[in-house]
């Protein structure tokens, strides 16, 4: 029985190029069957640059930013035309959504994205999401489409994220070296997998071009928010249908049972990028971790980075461990002025500073799970 009502499907570049039109037609047919069963579908698709290169019959990956952006600009409309073409026989409409890092870091833009995607689903349109490679640079880059798909799945409260790649899943060891290597069918502890296996960003044998690390990072974001994740070979027949019907295929990451978090907490903890760091003394760290108190100026030891009021910052203990993240009430220069000052001192010296807290507890999320030990 299919209990998934909202699914995010991430499709890698290799599948777009390697599988060609037949692969995309297969995706469209499976999406049609799922939609007929009442499932809402969101697709996160790589492949703009690869499609642009294919159009020019080039096999060498571009190195410079301007080349990548140029081929992305060529490939993105061609890729969307393919999606329109394969979905048309089923009378399924699709919409292009191109995103950058800034769209997630600014909360109002983040909420606008969520509202747009929710409305597209409401009017029975399949969103096709990609990072906007035409304009993106490192400063505004999400990172990769594995991360992007995890952010989308989390933001839209999806039931399942399917990461389609060109190998069968996560192996316990390199199948190119060890004939007895096996697919890990069910994963409850991602950290155990990370510790057990040699992992790099380009560990091809595990799962595709993004490597094992990006997919594990994506899975971490999802399972911590109650979203199941499956990594599987997209070239297998009816792979998505089989995954949705809980057949043994690929590697399945089980959600972690955690207290439900609000949309704002998800945004602070998993989605936006911290713009700076605030280092606090042991007393402040203990108050934040154990008593869920606000961060006051008196507990601030050091400030690192350039940020403004309303940005999300990371809060670190003096020994350099991140303990929390939160929306800051003051910019870098203002916190430098008030750090290590008691509230009475701050009010007397800087009466224009209206907030008693540097970061209020209502705008803070703990990222260190265990309590701080003295």
Q: What is the pTM of this model?
A: 0.77
Buried/exposed 195-207: b ≥16 CB within 10 Å, e otherwise:
eebebeeebebbb
Q: Give the end-to-end CA distance of the chain in Å, rounded to a whole number.
A: 50
Q: Are residues 23 and 62 both part of a single domain?
A: yes
Outline where the chain has alpha helix (H).
13-36, 48-55, 65-87, 102-105, 107-122, 145-155, 190-196, 204-207, 211-223, 239-244, 263-266, 282-291, 332-338, 343-349
Give the pLDDT band (50/70/90) at residue 66.
Answer: confident
Q: Are residues 278 and 214 both part of a single domain?
A: no
Provide the 3-class DSSP secondary structure of residue 335. helix
Q: Are residues 278 and 217 both part of a single domain?
A: no
Q: Are residues 232 and 343 both part of a single domain?
A: no
Q: What CATH number should be reported for the domain holding residue 288?
A: 2.30.130.10
Q: Are residues 162 and 50 both part of a single domain?
A: yes
Give the pLDDT band (50/70/90) at residue 324.
Answer: very high
Domain count, the chain: 2
Per-residue tokens: 106: 């600014």
Residue pair 150/230 in contact by the 8 Å Cβ criterion:
no
Residue finishing a domain among 263, 287, 307: 263
Is 374 contained in some domain? no
Q: Are residues 293 and 180 both part of a single domain?
A: no
Task: Centre a 10 Å sphere on the Cβ of residue 8 and count the other Cβ atoms it contains.
Answer: 29
Beta strands 251-253 and 300-304, pairing class: unpaired
Is 324 contained in some domain? yes
Beta strands 359-366 and 322-328, pairing class: antiparallel
How open is the CA angle 237-238-241, to the nearest 5 degrees? 160
127-175 pLDDT, tens digit per residue, is 999 887 666 544 434 457 888 899 899 888 899 999 998 888 888 877 7
Domain membership of residue 101 as a residue range: 6-263
Q: Are residues 258 and 287 both part of a single domain?
A: no
Q: What CATH number should be reported for the domain holding residue 61?
A: 3.40.1160.10
Ranges 67-76, 117-126, 252-261, 294-303: which has the least confidence: 252-261
Cα–Cα dist 210/47, whole Å: 13
Cα–Cα dist 292/154, whole Å: 24
């Amino acid at each position: 029985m299919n209990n998934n009502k909202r699914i995010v499907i991430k499709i890698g570049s290799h599948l777009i190029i390697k599988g060609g039109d037949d692969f995309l037609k297969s995706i469209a047919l499976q999406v049609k069957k799922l939609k007929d069963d009442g499932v809402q579908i969101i697709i996160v698709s790589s492949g703009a640059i690869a499609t642009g290169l294919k159009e020019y019959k080039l096999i060498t990956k571009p190195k410079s930013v301007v080349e990548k952006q140029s081929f992305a600009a060529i490939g993105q409309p061609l890729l969307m035309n393919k999606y329109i073409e394969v979905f048309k026989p089923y009378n399924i409409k699709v919409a292009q959504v191109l995103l950058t890092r800034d769209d997630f870091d600014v909360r109002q833009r983040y909420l606008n994205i969520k509202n747009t995607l929710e409305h597209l689903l409401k009017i029975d349109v399949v969103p096709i999401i990609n990072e906007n490679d035409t304009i993106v640079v490192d400063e505004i880059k999400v990172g990769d489409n594995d991360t992007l798909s995890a952010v989308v799945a989390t933001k839209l409260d999806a039931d399942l994220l399917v990461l389609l790649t060109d190998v069968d899943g996560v192996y316990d060891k390199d199948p190119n070296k060890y004939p007895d290597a096996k697919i890990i069918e069910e994963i409850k502890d991602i950290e155990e997998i990370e510790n057990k296996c040699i992992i790099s960003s380009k560990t091809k044998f595990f799962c595709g071009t993004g490597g094992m690390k990006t997919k594990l990072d994506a899975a971490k974001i999802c399972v911590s928010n109650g979203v199941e994740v499956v990594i599987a070979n997209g070239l297998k027949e009816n792979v998505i249908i089989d995954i949705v019907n809980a057949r043994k295929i690929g590697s399945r990451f089980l959600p972690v049972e955690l207290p439900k978090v609000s949309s704002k907490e998800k945004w602070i903890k998993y989605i936006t990028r911290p713009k700076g760091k605030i280092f606090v003394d042991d007393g402040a760290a203990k108050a934040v971790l154990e008593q869920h108190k606000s961060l006051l100026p008196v507990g601030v030891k050091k400030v690192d980075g350039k940020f403004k009021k309303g940005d999300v910052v990371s809060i670190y203990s003096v020994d350099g461990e991140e303990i929390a993240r939160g929306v800051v009430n003051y910019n870098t220069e203002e916190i430098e002025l008030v750090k290590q000052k008691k509230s009475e001192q701050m009010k007397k010296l800087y009466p224009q500073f209206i907030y008693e807290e540097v970061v209020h507890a209502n705008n803070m999320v703990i990222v260190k799970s265990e309590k701080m030990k003295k």
